[in-house]
Structure formats: structure tokens, C-alpha cells
Amino acid sequence: MNGSDLDRREFLRVMMALSAGLAVGCGTDERRSSEESQLSPDEESLRKLVLALGPWTESESEKAENFADRFVTYAGGFYLPDSAGAIRSLAGRLPPGAMALAEIDLGDMSVEEREVLTQLTQMLYSFIEVRFYIAKEPPWGRCLGERTRYIQAPA
Amino acid sequence: MTEEMHVDYCIAGGGIAGILLASKLAASGKKIVILEHGRRFTEEDRTGMLRRGVEALNDYADYNDDVDESATTPHTSATADEQVIEWSNQRLFGVGGTALHFEGIMARPVEDDLQVRTLYGYGRDWPLTYAELEPWLLAAEREIGVAGSADNPYASPRSDSFPMPAHEFSYFDREIMGPAMRALGIVGHSCPRAIASVPYRGRSQCLACRACKFCPSGARYSPDRVHVPMLEERPNVSILDNVSLRRLETAARGDRIIAAHAMRTEDGEPLVITADCFVLAMGGVETPRMLMLSADGGAYRDGLGNVGGQLGRGFNDHLNPYVTFDVGRPVGSRLGFETMISDHFRATGDRRETPSFIMFTAPAMDWFPIGIEATSWSIQDEILSLADLRQSIPRFATLAAMTEVEGRGVLELDDDVTDSFGSPVAKVTMRLSDWDRRAPAKLGELAPQLAEAMGAANVSGVSAELYPGYHPSGATAMARSPDGGVCDPHLKVFGLDNLYLVSNSVFPHMGANPPTLTIAALALRLAAHLEGKSAL
């Protein structure tokens, strides 16, 4: 497993660099206005991928789309434009409206497509918001009135 | 126009050391000024940082995110010769210092940590014994408010109990990791924390917000929330934020500091402070750097206190290796911090063979990128099973170690890089020995054994590259004489009658425990010394 450990350090750098970039103005904490929310085709592809890879089902589409929009806004620069071709190609394989896919065949992908898909999945499932959602944890930073939740056996 | 000020005590650095020191000196009525390079954060700032972090998917949101690093000291790194690792710093500038965002682990040193040269033949001995330090450790625990328990069989003696009960073990610690460790003969015990387990001196108990960096409940100690408001009530104390100390001026005879030359960072206006006593409490990097930047053309051409050529030598930091487990069953919720640690490898084994280390376990730490292992472990026969991946996330746990390092590192001024004031930044070179690397290797041996004992489905290896612990220490060590360090056992800089240091830079050696409690203890001890008190 040591191979993945090398990735871990590099990955942490990416995540932290992403955060630093956001903080110095590469991103913004203001949501796009409706006029600005027109995504480019590449951004649309990235958004489709996030929805397909993520954990949200159709019944939670509003939550999923909110996350995907923010992902494109704040983390999109990590994938676009450098990996635009792979992103477009991967999104092109998805059925319309795909959400919470169960599995993906990596066998017939190019090396770049596979790398991009793997990294996107790794990043997605490292985000606190995604992990807490899956684990049914209350949102990060919300004080719990019932603080003994952590000592209880998981349901 | 230069602003001038005269005080009794000029303290540079508004972190936990400087603030605690001032809080004890303030009762004397003497005039005190604290110079802090960073700014005073408000509760609204904290709320805003957390909100923006959530909105922008910034899991690493932090206090200095909007600070231009070049205005302070750029992170340092080194990439040369044998066994050098990249070293980076996560200190904070701001009233409260790095304790604004620290995890609040308040582990004490063990007795042997202070005598490693005598007992084991490496590092440097402290000129204090554990018995001499212990009352100050206890005082610091009370001052800060530490939750803990006497359940640690490896602990060195303590003269009284913790001021608060320990946080209860998490489900994972109690039912999974604790039994797994016991199967290997290791006792997991409570982790002393500067996080209130019950209401304490006006602080809320922990409300499990799980965003400890910003601690929305206020349960975690932060100097700016506890001691700074008290200091701000004192007419004899001034806390000047956004003021950067640039150098200390030595008297012509070379026996005293006569002035601190500072600058207001917002408008560049100079400020000169004269004082009877100066204290540098600027942390493990900036404290030695300031002594170097204050080199004069006379006796201290190589830096203040560098009488024996020790300034910058013995730089030390922990290493933090990690492993990740897929425990194979849900691990439960996280309080936001680890509730169980083990000092087993601090108190057992031969330290000549393997460095000591602390182990921490928890359901996967919030900031830890478990998506890496979760993804790679969900790929089989060229199929990425996202369904398996999602099911695995609630099963993840992490095991971390904080390992002792011998302390062969060097901190020096960088000839090539300057900060925005034109001053050379600090350059740190961590020279790791083969011995230093044995503790991470030991964790690597232990992880699969623990995995088997807990019935885990998978376990990662230990990182081949090593993370620093962000606990810079040792570059202005205290010693009995100048050939062993930069300041004496009372933290007075050698050769200078009115200059004192208090930070982890004065540690001759750092054991495997995080340094904050010891820093606080030294600050309280220094306050008593400056006030002419030899004991509590």
C-alpha cells in the first residue's frame, strides 16, 4: 500500500493548495449571479461527473446540485482547462441525469481519463461535507445539543 | 514620525507564552506592552471563516488564510544532502498565536525526556528536572483548563489531579481500538485536552461541533478568548496587534537591550519601545530568527546570545506518520478530536534503539484525505465500485503517531529570501538520522497487528515520506552554560541582563508530547522568576 501513501502526501498538498488559492482570491465566497451561472461546456461536463460520482440520489438532487455548483466554482480550476479533454470524454460516457452511479469500468479508459476519474473520486470523498453526509453526521461546525453521540454505538 | 514608548516589560509575541506571562505579571501593576505581528481576531471572524470554509469546500480554512506570507516569513524548506526532509511551518500570526487553532493536546513530558543525553546518549539534557518542572505543569493545566484522568499507567508523577474530568472515550476507542491495543499489551488511555469537558471558568463544555480549529462553543482554550480579555481590562497592559518587531538594540557595552524597534504593519510607521525587561515569546522559528536579525557589530555579530555558537543549533520537530484502517464495520461518530491516546512507546522499550512516540486513534480525522484509500480499496478487476466506496466511508479510522526526533536540525537566516520588510527569512534544515526513522517504521510494523486484532478489512502503510509535526523547537536552548545553549535555566539570554526567552525554542530536547503545556509551564515559571518568586 505504500504506493498510495506517496499519493497521500501529494494529494494533501493539492487540497491545501486549493484552499490557499481560494483564500487569496482565486475563488470567491460569493455565489455566482444567475447571469454568471451559465457554465461553459467543460464546466458542465465536470458538474455532470461530480453528480454521477457523488453519493446523492435523485431524491436529493437539490443538495447534489448545490454541491456540484460549488465544486465547479471552487475546485474546477484544478481540473480545467488542463484536463478538459478527459473530463469531456468521461462525461460523454454518462447516461443523461446520472447520479450516484454504483460502479464504473476503468478498463476501457485512457490513462489520462483513468487518472482524472480516480483523482476526482479521491477528492470528492475526502471532503468533509461528503463524508459527513454519507455518515449521516450533522454538518461540520454545528454544535450538538446531545454531545454524547460519539460514545454511542453506530445505528 | 517615530512613536516612542517606555514600559517595564516589553513582550514580543502574543501567543500562549506571551499572553500567559503577561497575565501573571499584570497583577504587579507594572507597565506591560505586548507586540503582536498579527491581528486580533473576533468571534465574527471565526464564524465567517467557518462559514466560508463550508461554502467554498475549504476543509483547511484557517486564521491566516488572507495573510500574505511574504509579509511575514515564507514557509521554509530545504532539499539538500543526507536525510533532509522538507520542513514547513503552520504557526499563526495573531493575538493568541498558534494556540488560536491548536488541537489542545496537553500531554506532559515524561521524566526521561529531560535527561536523554545522560540516560540514552542522544540529544541534550534539560538543566531542570521533571520534579522542578512539575508544579508549573500543574499550574499551567489549571490556568488553561485541562480535562484529563489518572488512567495513564505510563505517566510520570503528578502532584494533583486534573482540573476537569477527561472526555469520555468514543465508541470506536472503547469498543474497537482499545481492545485491539490491549490484545497487543498496549494500554490506551485518556488524552489530556485543553477542551472543557464540563463548564470551566466561564467556558462552555465541549458541544461536539467537530470544527475544533474555530471551536464554535468556546470549550477549547484559546488565549484570545480567556486571558486576553482579562488583560484588556488592565490599565497597565497594552496589546499592540499588527505591530512587528524588527530588531532589538543592544547597549554599547553589550550587556543589555536598550530598545525594541518595531513597525506598524498597516501603515509602516516605526515604533521604538524602551523597557527594563524584554521577553521574546515568538515561537520556535521567530524567536531564534529575531536573535539573529538583532546581531550587532560587536560582541553579538553572530546573533544575540550566541556566545557559545549554539544559536540555531539543535532545531527539532516531531514527525507525524499516519495509517488508515477500513475497520470492516462502522466506527461511530467523532467528537472532533481523539479521546484515546497511548504513551506506551514513551515509557517502554529502549530509547537507544527506537525513539519514543505517542499514538492517537480515532474515527477518520476530519481533515484527513481518506478518499485516497477509500477509492483505491474500491477498485477490483478494473471496476471502481462507488457503492462499496460509499459503504466504506463510515468504517474508516486513522492511527497517528507523534514521534520524538533527535534534534540535529539547523535554523539559520536565508541569504536568498527576504520578507516584505527586507529581512532574511528563517531557513530550517531537518537532518534526520536513521534512528529518527525507526519510530515511523515501528508504527508501520504495529499497524497490521492492530488491524488483525480489531478485525479490520484493510490497512494502509505508513507514509514513505514524513510529515513534520509543526512543533519547531530547540534553536535557542536553555542550558547551564553558553556552550550548551542560548539562555540559562531561568530563560535569561547569556550575556544580556534584561533579555529573556519563552517559547518551545528553549527546549533542549523535545519528547514525543506536543509542546504547548510545557511552553505554558515555562511562561508561568518565568513570570514568577521575574517577580522574584522562586516557587508557586
Chain Cα centroid distance, residue B353: 26
Which residues in chain A are closer than 8 Å to B214, comparing Cβ atoms? 141
Check residue B84 and report its DSSP letter. Answer: E
Which residue(s) pair with B190 in the sheet? B340
Take residue B349 and report the three cell numbers written for it. Answer: 522499550
Taking an 8 Å cut-off on Cβ atoms, the answer to whether B54 and A141 are in contact is yes
Take residue B356 and report the three cell numbers written for it. Answer: 519514543
User: What is the distance between the alpha carbons of residues B66 and B472, in angstroms, rounded to a whole number?
Assistant: 23
Angstrom CA distances, B214 to B61, B94, B210, stand at 10, 14, 9
Look at residue A148 in the predicted model and tell me its pLDDT. 85
Query: From the candidates A125, A129, A142, which should be mutated to test the interface with B, based on the most B CB atoms within 10 A?
Result: A125
Taking an 8 Å cut-off on Cβ atoms, the answer to whether B459 and A1 are in contact is yes
Confidence of residue A17 (pLDDT cuts 50, 70, 90): low
Buried b (16+ CB within 10 A) or exposed e, B188-221: bbbbbbbbbbeebeebbbbbbbbbbbbbbbbbbb
CA dihedral over B178, B181, B186, B190, signed as positive or negative: negative
B94: left (phi over 0), alpha (psi -120 to 50) or beta: left
**Cβ within 8 Å of residue B375, ≥6 positions away:** A118, A121, A122, A125, B384, B389
What is the edge-to-edge ordering of all strands in the sheet holding B383-385? Answer: A103-105, B383-385, B379-380
H or E element that contains B528: helix B516-530
CA proximity to B429, closest of B76, B46, B63, B11: B76
Place of cell 462559514: B51
Look at residue A11 in the predicted model and tell me its pLDDT. 58
Take residue B528 and report the three cell numbers written for it. Answer: 514568577
Taking an 8 Å cut-off on Cβ atoms, the answer to whether A141 and B50 are in contact is yes
Taking an 8 Å cut-off on Cβ atoms, the answer to whether A152 and B332 are in contact is yes
Closest chain A CA to residue B176 = A153
**Cβ of B364 under 8 Å from any chain A Cβ?**
yes
CA proximity to B224, closest of B102, B59, B353, B324: B102
**Cβ of A27 under 8 Å from any chain B Cβ?**
yes
The full set of domain ranges for chain A reads 39-139
Task: Please count the residues of chain B.
Answer: 536
User: What is the distance between the alpha carbons of residues B99 and B396, in angstroms, rounded to a whole number?
Assistant: 28
Query: From the candidates B57, B319, B320, B340, which should be mutated to test the interface with A, based on the most A CB atoms within 10 A?
Result: B57
Q: Which of B60, B385, B389 sits opposite A125 (nearest CB)?
A: B389
Percentage of chain B exceeding pLDDT 70: 95
pLDDT, one tens digit per residue, over B520-530 is: 999 999 999 99
pLDDT, one tens digit per residue, over B361-410 is: 888 877 788 999 999 999 999 999 999 999 999 999 999 999 999 999 99
Q: Which of B208, B369, B376 sits opposite A149 (nearest CB)?
A: B208
pLDDT, one tens digit per residue, over B351-372 is: 999 999 999 988 887 778 899 9
Query: From the candidates A115, A147, A149, which should be mutated to test the interface with B, based on the most B CB atoms within 10 A?
Result: A147
Which residues in chain B are closer than 8 Å to A131, comparing Cβ atoms? 364, 366, 370, 393
User: What is the distance between the alpha carbons of residues B284 and B91, in angstroms, rounded to a whole number?
Assistant: 9
pLDDT, one tens digit per residue, over B253-269 is: 999 999 999 999 989 99
Look at residue B70 in the predicted model and tell me its pLDDT. 62
User: What is the distance between the alpha carbons of residues B454 and B402, in angstroms, rounded to a whole number?
Assistant: 22
Please name the amino acid found at residue B102.
F
Cβ pair B36, B243 in contact under 8 A: yes
Closest chain B CA to residue A25 = B66
Which residue(s) pair with B249 in the sheet? B259
- Mean pLDDT over residues B210-230, rounded? 96
Taking an 8 Å cut-off on Cβ atoms, the answer to whether B210 and A20 are in contact is no
User: What is the distance between the alpha carbons of residues A69 and A61, in angstroms, rounded to a whole number?
Assistant: 12
Q: Which of A4, A22, A55 sits opposite B376 (nearest CB)?
A: A4
Residue B420 has φ and ψ, to the nearest 5°, of -70, -10
pLDDT, one tens digit per residue, over A100-138 is: 999 999 998 999 999 999 999 999 999 999 999 999 988
Cβ pair B50, B61 in contact under 8 A: yes
Helix (H, G, I), strand (E, B) or coil at B177: helix
Taking an 8 Å cut-off on Cβ atoms, the answer to whether B171 and A124 are in contact is no
How, if at all, do strands B379-380 and B3-12 pair? Answer: unpaired
Check residue B208 and report its DSSP letter. Answer: -
Q: Which of B59, B208, B461 sits opposite A147 (nearest CB)?
A: B208
Angstrom CA distances, B520 to B52, B144, B301, stand at 32, 9, 31
CA proximity to B102, closest of B209, B217, B194, B231: B194
Instruction: Name the B residues in 31-70 with CB < 8 Å from any A CB.
Output: 50, 52, 54-61, 65-66
User: Which of the two residues, A37 and A30, has the higher pLDDT score?
Assistant: A37
Look at residue A28 in the predicted model and tell me its pLDDT. 37
Q: B14: number of CA atoms within 13 Å, CB side?
A: 34
Instruction: Name the A residues in 115-134 with CB < 8 Å from any B CB.
Output: 117-118, 121-129, 131, 134
Check residue B476 and report its DSSP letter. Answer: T
pLDDT at A24 exceeding the cut of 50: no
**Cβ of A19 under 8 Å from any chain B Cβ?**
yes
Query: From the candidates A126, A129, A137, which should be mutated to test the interface with B, based on the most B CB atoms within 10 A?
Result: A126
* Angle value at C-alpha A48, between A42 and A50, nearest 5 degrees: 105
Look at residue B338 in the predicted model and tell me its pLDDT. 92
Instruction: Name the B residues in 471-510 with CB < 8 Å from any A CB.
Output: none
Angstrom CA distances, A69 to A44, A61, A72, stand at 9, 12, 5
**Cβ within 8 Å of residue B396, ≥6 positions away:** B324, B325, B326, B327, B331, B363, B364, B370, B373, B374
Buried b (16+ CB within 10 A) or exposed e, B401-422: bbbbbbbbbebbbbeeeebeee
**Cβ of B170 under 8 Å from any chain A Cβ?**
yes
Look at residue A2 in the predicted model and tell me its pLDDT. 34
Angstrom CA distances, B448 to B358, B428, B443, B451, B466, stand at 18, 34, 9, 5, 19
Q: B75: number of CA atoms within 13 Å, CB side?
A: 12
Taking an 8 Å cut-off on Cβ atoms, the answer to whether B461 and A1 are in contact is yes
pLDDT at A3 exceeding the cut of 60: no
Look at residue B426 in the predicted model and tell me its pLDDT. 87
Task: Tell me the DSSP string of chain A.
Answer: -HHHHHHHHHHHHHHHHHHHHHHTTSS-SSPPPTTTT---HHHHHHHHHHHHHSS--GGGHHHHHHHHHHHHHHHHHHHTTTTHHHHHHHHHTSPTT--S-SEEE-TTS-HHHHHHHHHHHHHHTTSHHHHHHHTTPPPTTPPPSSGGGGGSPP-
Instruction: Name the A residues in 60-89 with CB < 8 Å from any B CB.
Output: 70-71, 73-75
CB pairs under 8 A between A and B: 199
Cβ pair B124, B118 in contact under 8 A: no
Greatest CA span in chain A, whole angstroms? 50
Cβ pair B429, B472 in contact under 8 A: no
pLDDT at B476 exceeding the cut of 50: yes
Q: A130: number of CA atoms within 13 Å, CB side?
A: 36
Q: Which of B214, B334, B368 sits opposite A141 (nearest CB)?
A: B214
What Rg do the C-alpha atoms of chain A give, in angstroms? 17
Give CA torsion, residues B507, B510, B514, B519, to 10 deg.
-10
**Cβ of B330 under 8 Å from any chain A Cβ?**
yes
Look at residue B82 in the predicted model and tell me its pLDDT. 44
pLDDT at B507 exceeding the cut of 90: yes
**Cβ of A26 under 8 Å from any chain B Cβ?**
no
What is the edge-to-edge ordering of all strands in the sheet holding B313-315? Answer: B84-85, B424-431, B409-418, B313-315
The minimum CA-CA distance between A117 and chain B, rounded to whole Å, is: 10
